[in-house]
Structure 1
Amino acid sequence: MDDKTEKKSLIPKMTNFGKWLVLILLAFILIWPLSAGLYWTVYRAYTLVDPTRFRDLDANVEALLKSTTPESEAPRKGAALLASIRNRLEQEMDSTFGWSINDLIISPTRWLDNRANRQRGSIFATRMMTTFFSTNLAKYGKVDKENENLKEAREKYFAFTSDSWWFPSSENQYEKGIAELKQYEADLLKSDSGAIYNLRTDDMYNMLEFIIGKQFLDEPLGLLVQSNDQVPYTELDDHIYYTQGIILVLRDALRTFVHLYPEVQEKGGKENISIAFKEMDQICSFDPLIVLRGDHDSIMADHRGKVARYLISIRERINDLAQSIKS
């Protein structure tokens, strides 16, 4: 009897605190996989309603490429190129939840910040590409007058703030800008309209240099290469999806440009542009469940750094393509 009592006393009794600690640990072990699974299920269901990955070229651009060939007349090529530039902005406006940057704070869509930042990138890139087109390709010389439709679109409508809900709304202004572009495209196809499209070899080079320059791709790259201690954790995904919006516009425009002017792929340009498009596809389909900020030898992924590497590769390949045109 004494031996049994002695053996029992060797086993320490668990305190109430210890019991609660064990219960909390067990709950954590069981609950977090369930929570993660629930989050994944809800998010994937959301992506069925409002796509977040864009692996393939948009159907509208695919149709453009089929209807316009390298042998098409210059005005038709110009109309197709400009249509590819405005395409992404139209897709964002016509998406499931529309233009959500300017939604009121009481609206659930106001909190969909990934799509909002993608839309910010889309209007930025549309504005920049339209500006280059208007000031370089839609006239015969630098001192010539700009096309009124393009000038109105870039200076008045696309320059409008992206978060105005009313008086006037951002959507209203952007729709007017798109209408101005469409009017120019229609005028191009009329022989007596006076609309001009004049793309020369030096314009091809200048456009590629503009794309990789300080005004365009260097802007999102600067956001992606900041050190982690300079970027709040809540802003990590903002920079990624902003870059995605820019690349979605650029991919549409460059795909159309290369299709209409296959001569740019000569002198080794074909391999460079192929790699650039592959990297663009990676950014356009980039949508991790949770954006992480792994630093140095951290076990966590560095998602912002990964997108930066894709973007740097795109810049280098486009630069090589530009140099092959110049030589």
Structure 2
Amino acid sequence: MSRFGISSLKKLIQNKNSSRAIVVMAVILVLLAGVGVTAIRTQVADQQVMPVSGEIANDAEIAPLVFRSAYFSLERELNDSAVGWVPNDLMISPTAWFDNKENLQRGIIFATRGIINVFTTNFARSGSGEELNKHLLKAQTSSFPYAEDVWMFASSESRYKEGIKSINSYLKDLENDKAVFNVKTDDLYVLMNTLESLIEMPQSRLKTGVKSHFEADDAIYFAKGVCLVVRDVLNTVTRAYPELMNRGGKQNITVALETLDIIALFNPLYVFAGGNKIGDSMAPNQVQALASKLDITANRLRDVKLALDK
């Protein structure tokens, strides 16, 4: 800084009115920063599991609950999120910097796609030779596979909402006896296998693909998004089919759901990747901590799956 600049700065500080203005501005900036951090953290805070209350009497009640569990978290992001669908926001948008929210939503749509495939192919027809319901086929092949970062023409949000609408059209067909909902033990086995695979994908990424703090939070919040969907589906299906609890082991499912609840609560002020190849082995390793929780969940789901295969 030049002598003129230093002199001007001294005069500004020495002036009482100017000093007060500087203090006020500093306080405002701190408050704004605090509000910003709080807003960002709130957007990835604890997400409650899809509520399932009372006794589930028959297939007419099971089908809407089961299908809704697949898109419950996605619908919440589309309709209830204060920042909307972030992955397709342009770089000029302030929300484009909410990378934790972005990765959470990417994890949610990734898991939703996999589960809708199972429900469409296995739950919504009587046998492998039967034709798929046209509404579910549209959701499976056109709506949910749509890229999550498209912002113009047919946006990602509009396609995903279209997919949810298609599922509701299938459920309407089901009410009018124009569609099928038929779940067998083999179908539950396929579902458990899919849930296990969905967990293993982010688990593998956490174990081998994270080399810095910046990569750590992306991987962790993607994993959290996947787990939110898996938790909704596992909780709903085990409530709808209590025999799954008995055959697969009540303890296995209880521990899996409890572990998924812990993952849903994960929302630190800062994500540390201690122990990775960045020279900071003294820092906490939250990557490894979350990977161990995913290990527990995957192992429990595998035990349930194997019990169904006996």
TM-score, normalised to structure 2, is: 0.84
Bigger Cα Rg? 1
Q: Deviations over 1:98-133 (max 9, x none)?
A: 101111111100110000000001111111100111
| 1:199 counterpart (168, 175, 183) | 183
Deviation (angstroms), 1:66: 2.0
The amino acid that maps onto 1:312 is D
Q: Deviations over 1:247-294 (max 9, x none)?
A: 111111111101111111115611111110111011111111111111
| 2:141 counterpart (138, 155, 159) | 155
> What's the counterpart of residue 46 of structure 1?
39
Determine if the alignment matches structure 1 residue 220 to structure 2 residue 202.
yes
Determine if the alignment matches structure 1 residue 266 to structure 2 residue 246.
yes
User: Contact between 2:115 and 2:194, CA under 8 Å: does it hold in 1?
Assistant: no
Q: Deviations over 1:23-65 (max 9, x none)?
A: xxxxxxxxxxx9xx979944663158x44222632xxx31xx2
The amino acid that maps onto 1:303 is Q
Structure 2 counterparts to residues 61-80 of structure 1, below 5 A: 61-62=50-51, 65-66=52-53, 69-70=55-56, 72-80=57-65
The amino acid that maps onto 1:82 is F
**Distance in 1 between residues matched to 2:209 and 2:229, nearest whole Å:** 27
Determine if the alignment matches structure 1 residue 92 to structure 2 residue 77.
yes
Q: Deviations over 1:180-222 (max 9, x none)?
A: 01111222222x3x21111011211221012213xx2222122
> What's the counterpart of residue 4 of structure 1?
none
> What's the counterpart of residue 189 of structure 1?
175
Deviation (angstroms), 1:227: 6.0
Three-state SS of the structure 2 residue aligned to 1:145 is coil
The amino acid that maps onto 1:320 is D
Q: Which runs of 5+ in 1 are unaligned?
A: 1-33
**Distance in 1 between residues matched to 2:248 and 2:300, nearest whole Å:** 11
| 2:265 counterpart (285, 295, 299) | 285
**Distance in 2 between residues matched to 1:90 and 1:42, nearest whole Å:** 26
Determine if the alignment matches structure 1 residue 108 to structure 2 residue 94.
yes
Determine if the alignment matches structure 1 residue 124 to structure 2 residue 110.
yes
> What's the counterpart of residue 275 of structure 1?
255
Distance 1:43 1:303, change over 3 A: farther
Paired residues in the alignment total 278
Determine if the alignment matches structure 1 residue 208 to structure 2 residue 188.
no
**Distance in 1 between residues matched to 2:130 and 2:165, nearest whole Å:** 23
**Distance in 2 between residues matched to 1:98 and 1:290, nearest whole Å:** 23
Distance 1:295 1:265, change over 3 A: same
Determine if the alignment matches structure 1 residue 237 to structure 2 residue 223.
no
Three-state SS of the structure 2 residue aligned to 1:212 is helix
**Distance in 2 between residues matched to 1:40 and 1:204, nearest whole Å:** 48
The amino acid that maps onto 2:168 is K
The amino acid that maps onto 1:66 is S
**Distance in 2 between residues matched to 1:186 and 1:66, nearest whole Å:** 22
